[in-house]
Amino acid sequence: MSNQHYQSQGNSLSEEKFKRIFEVASDGLIYMDTSGRIVDVNEQAVWIFGGSKEDLLGKHFTRVGVVSSTNLPRITKAFASILLGRGAPLEVQIRNKKGQMRFLECSYSVMKTDGKLAGILAIARDITERKKAEKALLESQQKFERLAAIGQVAAMVGHDLRNPLTGIKGAAYYLKTKPALRKDKKTMEVLELIEKDIEYSNKIITDLLECSRDVHLELTETTPKLIIGETLSLLEVPNNIQVINLTESDPRIKGDIEKLNRAFVNLIKNAIDAMPYGGKLTIKSTGTNDNVEFTFADTGMGMTKEQMGKIWAPFFTTKAKGMGLGLPICKRIIEAHKGYITVESMPGIGTTFTVTIPIEPKPTEGGEKVWVNVPESLSSMTTKASEKS
C-alpha cells in the first residue's frame, strides 16, 4: 500500500474519532464557518438551546433567537476578535427555545485546513446551576451580615432601654402604694397595664439580647420530669387549655436547666397561642439510646408547609403581637446542647414539636461559640465546648 493510502486511512480514522468525541462531549459544541453560519452542533448544544438540531443548522449565530438584542453586539464583537486571533472566553446569558434562562461560559478554538482558517469551534459550558448557587450564597451572606448588624444594634439598644423601663416600673410601683390612688379603680387598672407592658418590653429586650450573644451553658444533672415541671411552674395556663404531662424521671440528663426552661416555655406558649378556643397539650419524654426526646403535641390550628419553612427565621411570626424570636432562640439553645428540634403540623389538626438532646452534651467542632461550664458536683474542671455550626 502507498503512503498516500495510509495517510488517507489515518485521516478517516481521525475524523471518525473526532466525530465521536464531538457527539459525546459534556459541553455544548457549535462548529461555525468563518461567516458565523452554524455547520454542526452536538446533542448537548441542542439540549442547551432547547430546540432541535434543524433549528440551528445553516443559521447564522445571530439568527438563532436565544440571545437578547442587548447581548448580540458583545457576542458579534467577540466573534470578530476570534477571527483576528484575539478571542477571549466570555459569559453569555440566553433564553432558550423552551423559555429557560441559562448561563453559558463560552470559549473558542480556531479550526484550520492546510494552514488556512476553516471555521470556529465554540465550546459552551452550561453554568446555570453554579450561578444559582453563587446567588444563593451571596443572598445568605447578605442575610447573615444584616442579622449580625441587627444583633449589634439590638445589644446596644437593649441595654439602653432597660434603664428607663426600670425607672417607669419603679414609678408605677410607687404610685400603686399611694392610698389615694389605690381607691381609684381606673387608675389601678392603668398602672397594672403599664406594668404588664413593661414586662412585655423587657421580654423583647431579653429576646434581642439572647439572639445577639454567644450561648453559655451551665450544665447540671436533672430529669425530664423535673425540667418540664419547673417549666410549667413558670407559666400561667388558661382554664380552657388542658396540659397532660407524661414526662418521666428517667433517664437522668445533664443540661442547662434555665436555658432548657426558656426553650420549653417558648414551645408551650406557642402551643397555647395556637389554641385560642381551648384544646389539649400533651408533653412526653422518651429515652432513646444516648438521647432523650421531648414531644409537645397540641390540638391547635396547625401550620401550612409554607409557614413551617419559615418558623426558624428570626422575626418571622404569625402572631399579631410578637417579634418572631422565640423559636429561633429555642433552636439555638437546643443546638447548643448538641441536639436538634423538628416539627410536624397539619392545618386544623395540630402541631407537634420534637426536641432531641443527648443525655450528656459532648463538645464538637464547628462555627458558633458555645461555652459549657460543668459544676464541680459533675466534674472537677470547667471546659469550653468547641464551636458548633
**What digits encode the pLDDT tens for the residues 303-350?**
988 888 888 877 667 665 666 677 888 898 999 899 999 999 999 999
Bridge-based pairing state of the strands 215-218 and 370-373: parallel
| Backbone phi, psi, residue 299, to 5° | -110, 40
Q: Are residues 89 and 52 in the same domain?
A: yes
If you ran DSSP here, which 8-state letter would residue 53 be given? G
If you ran DSSP here, which 8-state letter would residue 88 be given? -
Q: List strands edge to edge, sheet with 101-113.
A: 38-41, 28-32, 116-126, 101-113, 90-95
Q: Are residues 52 and 140 in the same domain?
A: no
Bridge-based pairing state of the strands 241-246 and 279-288: parallel
CB 331 within 8 A of CB 264: no
If you ran DSSP here, which 8-state letter would residue 61 be given? G
List Cα–Cα distances, 165 to 151, 156, 196, 287, 313, in angstroms. 20, 15, 12, 43, 28
List Cα–Cα distances, 112 to 20, 116, 119, 123, in angstroms. 19, 5, 7, 16
Residue 387 maps to a domain: no
List Cα–Cα distances, 375 to 77, 172, 218, 339, 383, in angstroms. 72, 40, 7, 21, 10
C-alpha 364/C-alpha 385 separation (Å) is 7
Q: Are residues 82 and 138 in the same domain?
A: no
Residue whose grid cell is 428517667: 250
- Position 367 scores a pLDDT of 44
Residue 385 maps to a domain: no
Contact residues for 319 (Cβ-Cβ < 8 A; gap 6+): 273
> CA nearest 269: which of 293, 320, 234?
234
Q: Are residues 222 and 204 in the same domain?
A: no
Q: Are residues 192 and 256 in the same domain?
A: no
Structural domain tally of the chain?
3
- Describe the crossing of helices 326-336 and 185-212 by its angle, rounded to 10 degrees: 40
Q: Are residues 102 and 153 in the same domain?
A: no
If you ran DSSP here, which 8-state letter would residue 33 be given? -
- Beta bridge partners of residue 126, listed in sequence order: 104
Which of these three, 173, 192, 212, is where a domain ends? 212
Neighbours of 382 (CB within 10 A): 11
- Position 231 scores a pLDDT of 94
Q: What is the domain extent for residue 179?
A: 132-212
The grid coordinates of residue 292 equal: 432523650
Cα dihedral across residues 259, 265, 312, 343: positive or negative: positive
CATH value at residue 203: 1.10.287
Positions of the chain with pLDDT lower than 50, given as ranges = 2-3, 5-11, 364-368, 374-389
Q: Are residues 201 and 236 in the same domain?
A: no
- Position 62 scores a pLDDT of 87
If you ran DSSP here, which 8-state letter would residue 383 be given? B
C-alpha 336/C-alpha 371 separation (Å) is 8
Which of these three, 77, 102, 126, is where a domain ends? 126
C-alpha 90/C-alpha 118 separation (Å) is 22
SS3 343: strand
The grid coordinates of residue 169 equal: 416600673
C-alpha 262/C-alpha 329 separation (Å) is 9
Residue 383 maps to a domain: no
Q: Are residues 292 and 179 in the same domain?
A: no
